[in-house]
Amino acid sequence: MIDWSNKRKGGLLACLVWTALAASSQQVSRVSAVDHPDEVVVSYRLDTDRPLGVQLYYSEDDGYSWIGPLKKVSGDVGTSVGSGKNVIKWNFPDEVGSLVGDRFKFKVRTSEHFNFSLRIRDEWFRPPSQITDEFGEDNDLAAFKLRQVKGWNGLDMKAPSGNYDFEMHNELRGGDVESSVELLGFRHRPAFVGMVFSAIVPGSGIPYVTYGECKNWTVEYSERKPKKGNGNFWGMVLFGGAAVLLHNLEIEAYNEELARPFGTEMSAQEAALPYQYAKYGAGGMAGLIYTLQIARVIKWNNCHKGDMSNFVEGWR
């Protein structure tokens, strides 16, 4: 049960208005709390020019320390809460069991959240539009300010190259904004596309699936060296070109024998047969080299994907 008197409630409500947000374009006001046997109902008014995240906190010692954000809550709480008269219901028995005392206070805290994806170690650092809107349109300045945000901690210098997904939290406290960045996950390049790249330009598949790097970034695999080579490009060119040349010689030998006065279909086929065997051999070698290249693309795709996954899990 909640053991607080009506007199203490009045003092509580007067304090709550000032511990909530009071920024120029966002403001929380008219905060009130009513206790029931199985829940506390907190009402507040939010004036904002865009949807905000809302969290509820409570104090057992007149606001000296705060507990939260509370989890067993429902109503106008969480992300994308808009302007108007809002209500949060807290199921305190499920979260804390019981509340005993007369020094309770509640605080409604607002924040702004948005997700963005960023490619780490690109040729240049290009913050997304949400970041430049927050920190300014100058990309260099925005990138510098982003690196100062809590939770970033030089992440862009430690992560394996690739696309990562983030969530940025802007916690609004009065006229101040406290920003932090949370790493949510990553988006890897599919091995299938790397295979297509290898077919078009041999050797390009591995750099594609590893964002230009074939390296495991973990300490235990530090001996794994970067591998950006041409992927046996010239071997495929040599054997592929030889197969094409031998195919042309096969046709030429066949036609020459068939054009002879005593040439027959059988003799023409026999004349072309050596070139045909050589053509299949050269084509088979080119195919074998390509198959090995595909196997390497899959291998390095899995290695790089594992590196990114391990990094994300370790960062969390």
Q: From its phi and psi, is residue 230 left (phi > 0), alpha (psi between -120 and 50) or beta?
A: alpha
Q: Which domain holds residue 148?
A: 113-187
Average pLDDT over residues 131-159: 80
Residue 174's pLDDT band (cuts 50, 70, 90): low
pLDDT over 70, % of the chain: 82
Phi and psi torsions of 298, nearest 5°: -65, -40
Least confident of 50-59, 142-151, 215-224: 215-224
pLDDT at residue 219 in the model:
37
Cα(283)–Cα(241) distance, rounded to whole angstroms? 9
Where a domain ends, among 138, 160, 187?
A: 187
- The reply to whether 119 and 175 lie within a common domain is yes
pLDDT at residue 112 in the model:
75
Q: 181: burial class by Cβ within 10 Å (0-12, 13-18, 19+)?
A: buried
pLDDT at residue 291 in the model:
83
Which residues lie across from 39 on neighbouring strands? 36
Return the C-alpha torsion angle 95, 98, 102, 105, nearest 10. 10
- The reply to whether 140 and 128 lie within a common domain is yes
- The reply to whether 121 and 215 lie within a common domain is no
Which residues lie across from 3 on neighbouring strands? 100
Where a domain ends, among 126, 154, 187?
A: 187
pLDDT at residue 177 in the model:
72
pLDDT at residue 249 in the model:
92
Cα(147)–Cα(5) distance, rounded to whole angstroms? 49
pLDDT at residue 186 in the model:
92
Residue 175's pLDDT band (cuts 50, 70, 90): low
- The reply to whether 139 and 173 lie within a common domain is yes
- The reply to whether 197 and 309 lie within a common domain is yes
Q: Which residues contact 202 (CB under 8 A, 6 or more apart)?
A: 230, 231, 232, 233, 236, 237, 289, 290, 293
pLDDT above 70 for 23: no
- The reply to whether 200 and 169 lie within a common domain is no
Return the ∠ at Cα 60 (arms to 59 and 61), rounded to 5°.
Answer: 95
- The reply to whether 145 and 247 lie within a common domain is no
pLDDT above 60 for 210: yes
pLDDT at residue 232 in the model:
65
pLDDT at residue 172 in the model:
67
Give tens-digit pLDDT for 34-92: 888 888 899 998 887 777 888 898 888 887 888 878 888 999 888 778 888 889 999 88
Cα(92)–Cα(70) distance, rounded to whole angstroms? 9
- The reply to whether 31 and 99 lie within a common domain is yes
- The reply to whether 35 and 80 lie within a common domain is yes
- For 286, the token pair is 């080119």
pLDDT at residue 7 in the model:
30
Which residues lie across from 22 on neighbouring strands? 27
pLDDT above 50 for 1: no
When divided into structural domains, the chain yields a total of 3
Cα(119)–Cα(224) distance, rounded to whole angstroms? 23
Residue 11's pLDDT band (cuts 50, 70, 90): very low
Average pLDDT over residues 101-111: 81
Distance from chain centroid for Cα 36: 43
Where a domain ends, among 187, 216, 239?
A: 187
Residue 19's pLDDT band (cuts 50, 70, 90): very low
Give tens-digit pLDDT for 247-272: 999 999 999 988 888 888 888 889 88
pLDDT higher for 226 or 115? 115
pLDDT at residue 12 in the model:
35
pTM over 0.75: no
Give tens-digit pLDDT for 267-287: 888 988 999 999 999 989 888
* Residues 32, 13 contacting (CB under 8 angstroms): yes
pLDDT above 50 for 240: yes
pLDDT at residue 46 in the model:
86
Tell me the one-letter amino acid at 82: G
Cα(130)–Cα(176) distance, rounded to whole angstroms? 19
